[in-house]
Amino acid sequence: MSYTDVNYEWTKKGCTLSDKTAFKEFGLTQNDIIKAINEGKLQFREGSIYGNPYLRLLRSEVEKFASEKFGKDLFHKKKAKNELKKINKELKELKSKIAELEMRKNELTQITKA
C-alpha cells in the first residue's frame, strides 16, 4: 500500500480511533464531533461492535480539530496527560510481571540448592 493511497490512513493501525476514544483522549463531546463532521473538518466511517454503533475517525484530523478548539497548549497538556496515564499503566503491569518472575526464580533457586 502506498502513502498516496486514499484509504491508507483508514487501514493503518493506530491512524483511526472511535468517537468514544476521542471523548476520553481529547475531551471532545458528541456535539463537537457531529458539528465538525457537518462542517467537513472530520471524516468518519460508521462501525458497530456487538451491536453498538460508533463513529470511526481519523486520528490526525481529530488531533488537528482538538488543537484548534482548545488551543495548542491545552491540547499538548491533554495529550501528555493521556500518554503519562498509558505509561503508568504499563509500568504497573511490568512491575507485577517482575514480581511474579522473582518469586518463580526464588522457587527454582530453592529447588536447585536442595
Residue 95, C-alpha cell as written in the block: 512491575
Residue 34, C-alpha cell as written in the block: 457531529
Max alpha carbon distance in the chain (Å)? Answer: 73
Q: Where are the domains of the chain?
A: 1-70, 72-114
Helix-strand-coil split of the chain, %, nearest 5: 65, 15, 20
Is the whole model's pTM more than 0.85, yes or no?
Answer: no
What is the Cα–Cα distance from 57 to 108, expressed in whole angstroms?
A: 50
- Which has the higher per-residue pLDDT, 5 or 80? 80
CB atoms within 10 A of CB 45: 11
pLDDT in tens, 57-69: 999 999 899 888 8
